């Protein structure tokens, strides 16, 4: 990670980690076509400099570029680097809170990843980790990045009472737990948290806050961050009309370790996949069922009895379930190495069975 600071790193400060995205994007013709742009062009130091004069008084900022990418290209290695950087910052006594500027395409994956690997540490250290981004590039008229960054800095600064340390996201004037993110609109300014239980940034909603506390008391232990080369290979497969057995059969004998099924309705899948999936599970491929509908929960043993080796994903979207399965497979491997007979299902359940915020 390269480091750029406007204060000494020993002075109490908020750390802003830059990952890229539209918030750091530039459009060649922003007036005529603001949506034709390249993400990940502007350095996080410049994003911070832009809002520097209006941050709450007394808040010092240090910025650090972790990556500068279009988040549709997010890699396992990017997540490992970010996760280790966040952990280090949470343990650093000079860091009061952490803001991460990120592309919105895969912000939901990063949100779930950070909750599952750093959520307990953030709570224990009483620091907020805030993900934010933008839907308009930095040079578009009415760009939403600066106000989102400012709101995130406000939320991360310890001056906001009541809201405990934890991993959150802020966009379009609202905040939610980062594990509740799901980009459900291509262009709306609140796309990643449109469907998430959330609170206004200005006035924290007490019933949302009690939901956050219920999740946090149920979240007992962070999962290990996989090293860049250790992420298990997990694919998302969508069931649809006319599904073919070959979609599953082609993976048999490959190194894939898990499938997340984006099923229809309750998370069911086409009959053409029943036998191929039996074969996949017999080969040790882990299976998680989700729903492609975009909302609602996928419950155990509905619509059919789950086969041994298959788990329903609760309220997780397919991208979040994929990260949860990767982390669960990795955690089970580490536990087994340490002589603990825990399965991926044990770890997956810890994440998927957390209470839902209403």
Binding-site ranges for ligand ASP (CB under 6 A) = 21-22, 39, 70-72, 103-105, 133, 135
CA angle 53, 57, 63 (to 5 degrees): 60
| Residue 279: CB minimum distance to ligand ASP, A | 36
Whether residue 97 contacts residue 118, with contact meaning beta carbons closer than 8 Å, is answered with: no
What distance in Å separates the CA atoms of residue 118 and residue 87, rounded to the nearest whole number? 6
Cα pseudo-dihedral 355, 98, 85, 61, rounded to 10: 180
Bridge-based pairing state of the strands 234-238 and 199-200:
unpaired
18 phi and psi angles, rounded to 5 deg:
-100, 130
Given a contact cutoff of 8 angstroms between Cβ atoms, the answer to whether 216 and 123 are in contact is yes
Q: How far apart are CA 276 and CA 287, in angstroms?
A: 12
Distance, in Å, from the CA atom of 358 to the CA atom of 346, rounded to the nearest integer, reads 25
Q: What is the smallest separation between the CB atom of 332 and ligand ASP, expressed in angstroms?
A: 30
CB of 192 to ligand ASP, least distance (A): 8
Tracing tokens 């966009």 back to the chain, one arrives at 171
Q: Which two tokens stand for residue 192?
A: 């990643």
- Residue 252's Cβ-side half-sphere holds a number of Cα atoms within 13 Å equal to 14
Residue nearest to ligand ASP (CB): 103
Q: What length does the chain have?
A: 358
Question: Residue 148: enclosing H or E segment and its boundaries?
Answer: helix 145-156
* In the complex, minimum distance from the CB of residue 139 to ligand ASP, in angstroms, rounded to a whole number: 14
Q: Which is nearer to ligand ASP, 195 or 345 (CB)?
A: 195
- Rounded to the nearest whole angstrom, what is the least distance from the CB of residue 105 to ligand ASP in the complex? 3
Minimum CB separation from ligand ASP for residue 89, in Å?
A: 22
């Amino acid at each position: 990670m390269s480091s750029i600071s406007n204060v000494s790193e020993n002075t109490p400060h908020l750390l802003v980690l830059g990952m890229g995205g539209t918030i750091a994007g530039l459009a060649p013709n922003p007036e005529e076509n603001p949506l034709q742009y390249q993400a990940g062009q502007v350095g996080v130091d410049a994003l911070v400099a832009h809002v520097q004069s209006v941050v709450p008084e007394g808040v010092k900022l240090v910025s650090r570029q972790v990556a500068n990418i279009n988040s549709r290209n997010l890699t396992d290695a990017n997540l490992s680097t970010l996760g280790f950087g966040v952990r280090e910052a949470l343990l650093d006594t000079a860091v009061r809170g952490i803001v991460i500027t990120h592309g919105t395409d895969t912000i939901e994956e990063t949100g779930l990843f950070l909750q599952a690997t750093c959520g307990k540490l953030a709570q224990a250290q009483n620091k907020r980790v805030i993900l934010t981004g933008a839907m308009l590039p930095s040079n578009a008229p009415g760009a939403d990045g600066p106000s989102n960054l400012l709101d995130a800095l406000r939320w991360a600064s310890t001056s906001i009472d009541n809201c405990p340390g934890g991993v959150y996201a802020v966009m379009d004037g609202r905040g939610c737990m980062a594990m509740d993110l799901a980009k459900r609109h291509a262009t709306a300014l609140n796309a990643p948290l449109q469907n998430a239980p959330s609170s206004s940034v200005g006035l924290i909603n007490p019933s949302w806050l009690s939901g956050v506390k219920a999740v946090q008391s149920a979240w007992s232990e962070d999962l290990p961050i996989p090293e860049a080369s250790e992420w298990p290979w997990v694919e998302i497969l969508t069931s649809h009309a006319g599904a073919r057995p070959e979609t599953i059969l082609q993976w048999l004998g490959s190194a894939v370790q898990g499938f997340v099924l984006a099923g229809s309705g309750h998370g069911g899948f086409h009959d053409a996949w029943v036998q191929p999936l039996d074969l996949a599970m017999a080969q040790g491929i882990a299976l998680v069922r989700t729903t492609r509908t975009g909302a609602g929960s996928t419950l155990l043993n509905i619509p059919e009895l789950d086969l041994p080796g298959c788990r329903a994903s609760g309220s997780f979207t397919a991208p979040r379930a994929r990260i949860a399965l990767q982390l669960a497979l990795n955690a089970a491997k580490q536990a087994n190495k340490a002589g603990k007979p825990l399965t991926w299902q044990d770890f997956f359940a810890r994440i998927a069975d957390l209470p839902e915020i209403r």
